[in-house]
Amino acid sequence: MVEPARKSPSDENAGQLPTDRQVLNMGPSHPATHGTVKFTVELDGETITAMDVAVGYLHRAFEKECESGTYYQAIPYTDRLNYNSAILSNLAYCMAVEKLLELELPLRCQWLRVLASELSRMGDHLTRLGAACLELGAMTPFLYGIEAREINWDLQEMLCGARVTSNYIRIGGLQSDARPGFEDRCQESLDRIETLLVDFDKMITANRIFVDRFRDTGILSKERCIAFGITGPLLRAVGVPYDVRKAEPYLVYDELDFDVPIGSRGDNYDRFLVVQEELGQSIRIIRQCLPVVRKTVGEPVNVADPRVRWPGKDRVFGRMEELIQLFKGVTEGIKVPAGEAYCAIESPNGELGFYIVSDGSGKPYKVRCRPPSFVNTQPLAEMLQGGLLADIIPTFDMVNMIGGECDR
């Protein structure tokens, strides 16, 4: 028979031991904050009694830069918002401009845009899950996640010509069509990623240490999420099935069959599970796109509207009219009709929107970006109030604050 452990005198008075209140500065030069945010934390022992979150360290006047150039010149800037899912930032901006131009995109273009968007979403989610494991000391699951991301990035490179900041989505279409053999390569890559995700799930999801660090930490109620305007996995983790792809379908999402994963507790563990399930849903969507992409080979991926579609080099070098059209298009920009438009899409962090005002010239009069990272970072101090110092890192990981998107 095992005797119960004896209590030491210090155990009985543990709750009455005096502790010193101290203020701790984390970041911006802290490995876990990635150089983009600073936490000023007031501690009572290891318990967080007050916290201040300072953002803005990566502010680059993104909106004003977009207003200082033509509509096309702004597209590479959108790549640098959420650099883990650059294609989705391209898409939101271009769709807002297309709304002002009242363009109707070719069918193949819409399906390829959806496919590229889901690949981009997967790259972001894999980065988030892998980083969450690494910063808690789980190196092996991190490597599995990064290997899956590497396969994903290779696939994006085959489609877009670049792995990260691809500049793939263009006003009225795409930079280029899918290469021959892309569909077969995509199917093979998805199978490999799925196998890695199964192993990843076995290693980490039910791991006792991982569950203890994530469960019941960083909790935010449904009411507070709605009050803050939070969207994305953080909102779905509290049980609200809001997804822009379902609520306000764009492109061909209304023709696709997929589910919106939700949680119930609103803690970091539920957020992790929601993001993990969304990876599976993205694979499901891409597999539905592939038959249509195969079927529409040879169809156009850009509109034929001369306002946005410039002549090819084969005609520019041989005809004066096409040369003048290209020259005026590059130097003066496309003339977007005067008006205003807002377009929102579902990004990996939530609702990403662009509000654009046009005065009829070749430059946007006003560009306003609604970054989900900025909105989702607002309640971080409230989520951590009363928690432990060690809870900051997993909570920050699950909020997935991307400095370029948050600070613009």
Give pLDDT tens digits for 73-101.
888 888 888 888 888 989 999 999 999 98
Q: What is the average per-residue pLDDT within 336-364?
A: 90
Q: Which CATH class is domain 54-407?
A: mainly alpha
Residue 22 has pLDDT above 80, yes or no: yes
Q: What is the average per-residue pLDDT within 54-73?
A: 86
Highest mean pLDDT among 231-240, 324-333, 386-395: 231-240
302-308 CB contacts, 8 Å cutoff, 24+ apart: 302/106, 302/109, 302/170, 302/172, 302/173, 302/174, 303/103, 303/104, 303/105, 303/106, 303/109, 303/172, 303/173, 305/101, 305/103, 305/172, 307/101, 307/334, 307/335, 308/101, 308/103, 308/171, 308/172, 308/334
d(CA 158, CA 185): 9
Q: Please give the mean pLDDT across all residues of the chain.
A: 85
Residue 246 has pLDDT above 60, yes or no: yes
The two three-digit tokens of residue 148, written as one number: 């899956």
Residue 39 has pLDDT above 70, yes or no: yes
Written as one letter, the residue type at 288 is Q
The two three-digit tokens of residue 297, written as one number: 């080979």
pLDDT: which is higher, 4 or 149: 149
pLDDT at 354: 92
Residue 14 has pLDDT above 70, yes or no: no
pLDDT at 7: 43
- Count the Cβ atoms, other than its own, within 10 Å of residue 206: 9
Q: Name the pLDDT band for 5 (thresholds 50, 70, 90).
A: very low
Q: For the chain, which residues make up each domain, given as ranges? A: 54-407
pLDDT at 35: 62
The two three-digit tokens of residue 156, written as one number: 């994006």
pLDDT at 16: 62
Residue 2 has pLDDT above 50, yes or no: no
